[in-house]
Chains A and B, each alone.
Chain A
Amino acid sequence: MELMPNFLFFIILSIGIGFFVLNIKKLIYNIKLGKDIDRYDNKSERWKNMILLALGQTKMIHRPISGVLHVVVYVGFILINVELLEIVTDGILGTHRVFAPFMGSFYNFLTATFEILAFLVIISVVVFWIRRNMIKIKRFMNPEMKGWPKYDADVILYFEIVLMFLFLSMNATDSLLQDLNTPNYINAGSFPISKYLQPLFNDFSQSNLIILERVFWWLHIIGILIFANYLYYSKHLHILLAFPNTFFANLDSKGRFKNNANVTKEVKLMLDPNADPYAVNSSDSPPEKFGVSDVIDMNWVQLLNAYSCTECGRCTSECPANQTGKKLSPRKIMMDTRDRLTEVGDNYRINNKKFIPDGKELLNDYISPEELWACTSCNACVEACPIGIDPLSIIMDMRQYLVMEQSSAPGDLNNMMGNIENNGAPWPFNNQERLLWANEN
């Protein structure tokens, strides 16, 4: 009988962690569906990028209000999780505040810090909620934020508030029990915030207080496990993926769009007078597909980008096309990629690691050509993203598919390209007249 709670705790913890690992495996499997790209070069720069952007959140501060609030929630989240160490140890060993006897007054300092952080987190989360639901800040109101994404964002806020209150209520009842010299409730900790919650519990008997304290304790840890498993389905995945995402981000100058190596091969063959004209077709492998029409055509960093996206909309709010009422929204590009990737990943898993066509594609079924053609390739979205996501690379790869596989560029662009092909300039001028300006006044 004595061991029951430990055993139960162990089971619940194992289930929680087990599902979490399963989700992470799914995630890695899906991301690995992407094509190869080398992002292991220049490691020191990459670590630096990760430390600055993910750990230091240096780009979040570009928007001071949300930036500061976000840092509070983030620091609070991480530090309060240190407390988890004790909670898990207590759970497994059946102890209570197991670290307290070893830490002396430092334990008081820690519990006080955690409480203050919890309080700051609650304030920040409330402001976040107000920004989304009452002030209705524009970047949270775009069409792609309807339905699940809006719901998801709110669910996370509610979750955090509930977790913080459970944590504080747990401390409030605990400290009351300590005051009553309850056996097992050793005198430890300092509770500058939760003491204000104590009046709520003053009228309870000691035995009821113990039940309450246990209920809060259990709900808190179970809540955290549920939250961890909710991540896979949520934009909140960024709390984990921001780290690899900033590590593997593009470090090159933003103007360098990668050259398609398959095209280089073909062009070299065409320009080489000694090349065998049939060489291109003689190989057994099917001809390479140019560009991207579905998620499996993308490289794994683009797929990682999609899962990392926080749906914050900083990219979209800086996008000149979006600002002037065009359909294009770089955030939607990332969200669509993620939704489609989850769908395609499930398809692979259900069908024994093979993809059974489902009559859908990222292009057209999720992202329309109209969106793709509205992009000015200005890089504002890339610059704005706090965690180094590159929506532009996806847009450009999809344009490549539209033009090279489907020849479906807008008519004006076809004219322009025809001009380049024939005259070496995007306008119908004779290349021999390139120097005419020198003779004009």
Chain B
Amino acid sequence: MNVNTLADLTAQGKKPDVLFWVGCAGSFDERAKKITKAFVKILNNSGISYAVLGPEESCTGDPAKRSGNEFLFQMQAMANIEVLNSYEITKIVTTCPHCFNTLKNEYPELGGSYEVEHHTQFLKKLLNEGKIKIQGGVFKGKRITFHDPCYLGRANNVYEAPRDLIKKLDAELIEMKNCKSKGLCCGAGGAQMFKEPEKGNKDINIKRTEQAINVKPDIIAAGCPFCNTMMSDGVKSKEKENILPVKDIAELIAEAKDL
């Protein structure tokens, strides 16, 4: 796959328009890497000038901060900000709402101010500007329900961009009982992804998956690598993984474009 790092481009005396912040899940997690690749395919196809940090990227510190380790968070943030500022980065796009939120909201006070977008906002803009085209085709008439990531929706009030993209696929967008500002968490946020849940009577991702299954979708769309994992696990535990795929919006678009 053709992906430039900032270090490469800078060595060639070039500067990309936007930095794609891949995130730890997008870099290392098997499932999330597919989302990364789908998004890169769209970027490459659109001819956008972008780059990634590669080994110069490091965890934003979100899970550390949400665990209560402010010190580790700020160490990570300061180190990342130093890298970003040294490359004079102004625009960042990311496929992870947690990275998105942290970069956008918590870095400025520490010296890192950038224009940060979630990939669904970014894709929506490309679409409006005519830089990418989306044909329905494969998804025509399919029932797709969108699971709002907490850190995209409630935390940052982005509800429409992902939905607009789904509609562009000629798909039938159906809403779960809890959606948008009332969306139910997948259970991964606040560093829950990295620990066992506390004692209770159900796992949160199962509850959310049940809400999704209730509206009889053909596809569950997600906009976050962690939600994706949680929902996929939920679908598996209901033994529906063969009939009910969980896909990121970027994957849907890449598939629609046959990339």
Contacts and interface: CB of A to CB of B under 8 A. Distances in A.
Given A378-B189, A413-B195, A437 B36 contact: yes
25 contacts: A255-B105, A255-B155, A256-B105, A260-B74, A266-B71, A271-B75, A291-B70, A324-B202, A324-B204, A324-B207, A326-B199, A327-B199, A373-B198, A377-B189, A378-B189, A380-B184, A396-B66, A400-B70, A403-B68, A404-B68, A416-B63, A424-B76, A434-B27, A438-B3, A440-B33
Given A320-B187, A410-B196, 4 more contacts: A257-B106, A401-B68, A416-B191, A426-B194
B157 A438 contact: no
A378 B52 contact: no
Given A321-B204, A435-B27, A264 B63 contact: no
B188 A425 contact: no
B16 interface: no
B121 to A, nearest CB: 14
Contacts, number: 215
Given A400-B68, A420-B72, A375 B190 contact: yes
A417 B198 contact: no
Contact of A435 (B3, B105, B187, B193): B3
A377 B155 CA distance: 10
Contact of B67 (A256, A398, A399): A399
Contact of A413 (B40, B109, B184, B194): B194
A318 interface: yes
Contacts of A432: 55
A198 interface: no
Interface in A310-328: 318, 320-321, 323-328
Contact of A434 (B37, B57, B70): B57
A263 interface: yes
A383 B58 contact: no
Contacts of B11: none
B151 A255 contact: yes
Given A255-B155, A324-B207, A420-B61, A378 B185 contact: yes
B188 A379 contact: no
Contacts of B65: 257
A264 B61 CA distance: 14
